[in-house]
């Protein structure tokens, strides 16, 4: 009895099978790579959003705690740096009768890609001379990018995110105005003979740098908790 010889794969069939397997492997790799890229982008955007929320939370907390010392302007912007006098809260949430100088600026650093939105704060101060010195250190930090550690090593600074530019607007009366312009920024308290130098609201406009998780313009309005003239903004 004649038995048929078992038939194997031809060379062409093997080549076709290998080509199909290669295409399937390539498609699988592209799918996995796309998923990894999507996960990375989602994570970067989530991290960027959390950092921005934390930075804006600190910004609002500083403005909420602004206090008028009758020695310096409680809120002063010169086009580069915003300096303020704010109440100091000791660690653990216990109120302190000290005051801190806080400064915010857009800082160009040589060791960073682009400019950074940055915050500086002094150690707690309780005397007039300490207040004036801390006010000056805040200005020097904004100009040089470094604290005067020899004066007080308890000063601290932190960068909060890459930005292309930032803008501030003050709201007084019924209009928004440039903090550097006297038009529309007349203080109602001053006009009435009082000492109310704080605006009713502060608008912050950040232009986030491209190439990070979040980009574009972000606007945040801080509304003064009370409009009553006094030493404190809250």
Distances (CA, A) of 48 to 37, 204, 214, 219, 221: 16, 18, 6, 16, 20
Q: How many angstroms separate the CA atoms of 64 and 70, rounded?
A: 18
pLDDT in tens, 58-88: 999 999 999 888 888 899 999 899 999 998 8
Torsion, Cα 198 49 89 187, to 10 degrees, reads: 0
Is 74:82 a contact under the CB 8 Å cutoff? no
Q: How many angstroms separate the CA atoms of 176 and 167, rounded?
A: 12
Model confidence at 229, in pLDDT bands (50, 70, 90)? very low
Model confidence at 19, in pLDDT bands (50, 70, 90)? confident
pTM over 0.75: no
Phi/psi at 81 (5° precision): -130, 140
Model confidence at 146, in pLDDT bands (50, 70, 90)? low
Q: Which residue has the higher pLDDT, 189 or 3?
A: 3
């Amino acid at each position: 009895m004649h038995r048929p010889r078992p038939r194997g794969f031809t060379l062409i069939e093997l080549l076709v099978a290998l080509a199909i397997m290669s295409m399937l492997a390539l498609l699988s790799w592209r799918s996995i790579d796309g998923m990894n890229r999507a996960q990375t982008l989602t994570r970067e955007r989530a991290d960027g959003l959390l950092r921005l929320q934390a930075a804006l939370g600190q910004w609002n907390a500083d403005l909420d705690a602004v206090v008028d010392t009758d020695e310096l302007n409680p809120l002063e912007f010169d086009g580069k740096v915003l300096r303020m006098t704010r109440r100091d809260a000791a660690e653990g949430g216990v109120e302190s009768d000290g005051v801190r100088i806080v400064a915010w600026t857009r800082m160009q650093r040589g060791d960073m890609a682009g400019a950074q939105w940055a915050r500086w704060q002094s150690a707690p101060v309780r005397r007039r001379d300490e207040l004036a010195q801390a006010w000056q250190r805040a200005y020097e930090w904004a100009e040089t990018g470094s604290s005067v550690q020899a004066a007080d090593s308890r000063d601290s600074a932190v960068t909060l995110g890459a930005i292309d530019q930032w803008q501030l607007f003050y709201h007084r009366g019924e209009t928004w105005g440039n903090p550097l312009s006297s038009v529309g920024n007349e203080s109602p308290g001053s006009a009435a003979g009082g000492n109310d130098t704080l605006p009713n609201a502060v608008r912050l406009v950040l232009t986030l740098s491209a190439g990070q998780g979040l980009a574009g313009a972000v606007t945040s309005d801080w509304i003064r908790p009370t409009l009553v003239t006094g030493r404190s903004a809250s």
